[in-house]
Structure formats: structure tokens, C-alpha cells
Amino acid sequence: MYGDGPFSPGSARSTNAADYQDVPRAVAVMPKTYAAGMVLDRHFHPRAQLLYATAGLMMASAEDGTWVVPDGHALWIPPRLPHAVATHGAVAMCSAYLDPAAVVGFPTGCRVIAVSRLLAAALVALAEEPILYAADGRGGHLAALVLDEIGRAPETPLTLPLPRDPRLRRVCLGIIADPASADDLDAWADRAGASRRTLTRGFRAETGLSFGDWRARARVIRAMALAAEGRPPRAVAAAVGYRSAQALRGTMARVLGPAGARQAPA
């Protein structure tokens, strides 16, 4: 099957994701670069995917959420889950396509993970192996290491869960469209046709976040995308509802933890 195909000896490594979906190995790795402003419309892969940003920033979206993937992070995508991807600035990435049989027990929803040095090195090394690496040799050992590191990687807060309740979802989509809006919870409740109490309880129940925390996270995610496009710090802060870059950095540190301020526009 692969003797005269995209993975035949001497051929360049394919950058077509479809070529990696039936490779008879547990892990198949595809490095690729994308120009700024690239958009991949909603699609899915038969295999699970680890979408690793080695440089630049990507945003992915699915029915139940939006995820930002800056360099040094990766998005775990379960098999056959429809998703869309957009780049903000030029992006270098590495996709690992994983046999569903090898990821039984892995998360059933998307999540952003911090890529450990060991996982990053293993992905680079596996990309240098033949696509049909020896399963009982170095390639097989690297594939097992990749799977183990993905399975133990902690989730990061670079996710924006979307509720299913149509009233709450209307609020969320409104905030995503206009993150700088100064409307408070009462104003959004009126717009959604729901009471303040319903909105407050709904956000907690469906997203695990308060309204204020969800909006702060939405603003941070949008700010990261704008900064990756090269926007000036003051313009980024204003675009997401902050009077100064310093105020935005404070929110990023709170939302993302101690490393958050380093992601903020300087």
C-alpha cells in the first residue's frame, strides 16, 4: 500500500492529513507550517490528533468550546470530533495522529495541554523516523513515549467552554463577538431573555465558571490572538475592554496563572 505512495522510500514526507489516517502505526507525525490568517473550516479525522504549536498561535473551535494554542502547547482532539482551526500570525506546528485503539481511556473532549520538553523532543525525533518505523525499534519506543506523555499531561486553562442552553450560548457568542463590551450581567441577562439568577446558575452549571471568570477568559484568549497578529499592546488591551496593557497583564496572570503575564503583550 505504501510502496509507491506518499511514504515510499525517498519521497518527501506528506503534509496532507488524509495520508496519515490509515498508517499501520500507533502514532503518525506530520510537521507543517501555515501562513498568518489561514482558516481550516470544520472537519474531522478518523484518528485522534495532538495539534502542537511549535511557533505562533492557533485557535480551534468545536460545538462545545473554543481553545487557544500558543507555542509550547498542544490541543488534544478526540477521534472524529468536528473542529475548525485558524492561525494568528505565521504558525509552525506538528500534528500527531493517534490510532483510536491506542488512546482508549484518553479524554473524550478537547483540552489544551502544556507540552513537556520530553514530549516535544519525542515528537521531533519521531518525525525524523520513517513513517513506517519499526514498531519494536526506536520508532516504536518513541511512539509509546508520546502516548505516555500525552496521557499524563495536565490540562491548562486555555479553553473557553460553550454552554448548550440557547440563552447562555447567545450571551457567550455575544461576548466572543465583542469582548470589549462593558455590559454587566444584568444587561446580558436582559438581552438573552433570562433572569440574572438563571444566567448565574447556568454559567456555573454548564461551564464550571462564573460569568465574570468566563468573560475574563474570553478576553484573554482574544488578546492572545491579537497579540500574535502583531497588534500594539495598547490596541490589544482596548480591543478586549481594558484601559491599559498593565490591566490586561493582571487579568492574564489571574486567568492563566504565574506564566500568564508572560503571554500578555508587553
Protein fold of 17-152: Jelly Rolls (2.60.120)
Common-topology check for domains 17-152 and 162-263: no
β-bridge partners, 123: none
Burial of 14 (0-12, 13-18, 19+ CB in 10 A): middle
pTM, 2 dp: 0.86
Q: 13: pLDDT confidence band, cut at 50, 70 and 90?
A: confident
Protein fold of 162-263: Arc Repressor Mutant, subunit A (1.10.10)
**Grid cell in block for residue 92:** 509552525
Percent of the chain with pLDDT over 90: 85
What are the backbone dihedrals phi and psi of residue 114, each rounded to the nearest 5 degrees, phi first?
-80, 130
Q: Residue ranges of the domains in the chain?
A: 17-152, 162-263
Closest CA to 29 of 11, 49, 44, 45: 49
- In the numeric block, the cell 518525525 is attached to 127
Task: With a cut of 60, say whether residue 159 has pLDDT above it.
Answer: yes
Residue 185: in which H helix or E strand, if any? helix 185-192
What pLDDT digit, counting tens, does each position of 89-100 carry?
Answer: 999 999 999 999
